[in-house]
């Protein structure tokens, strides 16, 4: 089955610091025309950091699109050409003050492929120890630590509602179940 | 810790069929000003549909933001004021031709809260049977069925890379592990 949509033209709408927006006119598989509203994003990393006592290092931060705070795994947007693991190391220390001895990439996925090209790389960080720097005060994040099992229950109770955090917590929980 | 960002002003950038974009100027907790690029979305539903032989009903579709096809759970955008379950029933039948006897809401979560307010409601649909209508030819989706375990392995292998599909498959797999 032919599914591809060919671009007829592409109209730039907005270019910000985090996102770009464009409006593509496309040729559908049936020969008709339509438009596609597209948000371009440089990609991001997220880190599920677990200490030797099975505590997760999470952050609470204000999310302006929702006008509320969320509890999430530490995360950050990739800079142009940046290696995802380098970005993950930097973000973990900036947001939690912690470094990790062991890093493992768990998964890379698209957060909202219907309208956005953002890819998210999730890393598991273990062997945690305090870094040399304090968390960046301009990050405006509050550190929240909780046992992995409590975080897993917080997903079921609707207390953790951020997609990347849910995927990260469930992946680690599934790895445990398989062992 | 005070985390809230107060809106100083809000500039409309774009209003499309699926998304709106605005640029907010905000007052940060430290009294400095910044901007927030915000994508507004009406919300969506996704359906993990499993038949009595433990096969998943998935769809392959072209995602213009990625310029590639993805295998995903059936999904669709909420219309204004639409009940999520009504939307889920409609989308399942439109995309797969199937109806379900049993519906359960698994989770509601934010796909990309850093820049977008999209909320996704995931439903588990079981007791599947063929509906009265054929899949909508204008949906341009290809039905893909596979056993749940194969889908779970496809996530690990990077063959299923869509966030909502990953969360849905992991949640069902975790429910099985707990039984």
**Which residues are within 8 A (CB) of B51 and not within 5 positions of it... i.e. 6 or more apart?**
B57, B126, B128
Using a CB-CB distance cutoff of 8 angstroms, which residues of chain B are in contact with residue A17? Answer: 35, 37
Tell me, yes or no, whether A55 and A96 share the same domain.
Answer: yes
Q: Taking residues A96-124, report their average pLDDT.
A: 98
Maximum distance among all alpha carbons in chain A?
Answer: 60
Tell me, yes or no, whether A106 and A28 share the same domain.
Answer: no
Chain position carrying tokens 């499993």: B50
Tell me, yes or no, whether B10 and B70 share the same domain.
Answer: no
Q: Where are the alpha helices (DSSP H) in chain A?
A: 84-96, 148-156, 163-178
Residue A142: give the domain boundaries: 44-178
- Over its C-alpha atoms, chain B yields an Rg (Å, rounded) of 19
| Nearest CB partner across the interface for A162, out of B5, B110, B170 | B110
Of all residues in chain A, the one with the smallest CA distance to B21 is A21
Tell me, yes or no, whether B26 and B80 share the same domain.
Answer: no
pLDDT digits (tens, 9 = 90+) for A20-71: 999 999 999 999 999 999 999 999 999 999 999 999 999 999 999 999 999 9
User: Could you give the count of Cα atoms lying within 13 Å of B161 in the half-sphere of its Cβ?
Assistant: 20
Tell me, yes or no, whether B31 and B67 share the same domain.
Answer: no
Task: Let me know how long chain A is.
Answer: 179
pTM score over 0.90: yes
pLDDT confidence of residue B134? 66
pLDDT digits (tens, 9 = 90+) for A120-179: 999 999 999 998 766 666 678 999 999 999 999 999 999 999 999 999 999 999 999 887
Q: Residue A73 has what DSSP assignment?
A: -
Answer for the pair B142, B58: CB distance below 8 angstroms, yes or no. Answer: no
Tell me, yes or no, whether B122 and B152 share the same domain.
Answer: yes
> Which CATH number characterizes residue A137's domain?
3.90.79.10
Tell me, yes or no, whether B149 and B163 share the same domain.
Answer: yes
Using a CB-CB distance cutoff of 8 angstroms, which residues of chain B are in contact with residue A65? Answer: 36, 38-40, 113-117
pLDDT confidence of residue A138? 64
Q: Is B17 on the interface with A (CB under 8 A)?
A: yes
Whether residue A1 lies inside any domain: the answer is: no
Whether residue A167 lies inside any domain: the answer is: yes
Nearest-Cα distance to chain A for B53, in Å, is 23
Cα angle value B7/B10/B14 (rounded, 5°):
145
Tell me which residues of chain A, numbers 141 to 170, contact chain B at a CB-CB cutoff of 8 Å: 141-142, 155, 158, 161-164, 166-167, 170
Which residues are registered as beta bridge partners of B146?
A: B56
Tell me, yes or no, whether A31 and A61 share the same domain.
Answer: no
Burial of B56 (0-12, 13-18, 19+ CB in 10 A): buried
Tell me, yes or no, whether B37 and B51 share the same domain.
Answer: no
Q: Quick one: what percent of chain B has pLDDT higher than 90?
A: 91
Residue B74 pLDDT greater than 90, yes or no: yes
């Amino acid at each position: 089955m032919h599914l591809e949509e060919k671009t007829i033209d592409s109209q730039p709408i907005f270019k910000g610091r985090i996102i770009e927006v464009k409006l593509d006119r496309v040729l559908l598989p049936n020969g008709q025309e339509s438009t596609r509203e597209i948000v371009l994003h440089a990609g991001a990393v997220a880190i599920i950091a677990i200490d030797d006592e099975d505590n997760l290092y999470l952050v609470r931060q204000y999310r302006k699109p929702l006008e509320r705070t969320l509890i999430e795994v530490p995360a950050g947007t990739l800079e142009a050409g940046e290696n995802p693991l380098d970005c993950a190391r930097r973000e973990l220390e900036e947001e939690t003050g912690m470094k990790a001895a062991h890093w493992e990439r768990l998964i890379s996925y698209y957060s909202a492929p219907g309208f956005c090209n953002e890819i998210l790389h999730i890393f598991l960080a273990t062997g945690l120890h305090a870094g040399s720097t304090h968390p960046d005060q301009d990050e405006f994040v509050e550190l929240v630590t909780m046992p992995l099992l409590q975080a897993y229950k917080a997903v079921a109770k609707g207390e953790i509602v951020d997609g990347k955090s849910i995927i990260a917590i469930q992946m680690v929980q599934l790895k445990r179940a398989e062992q």
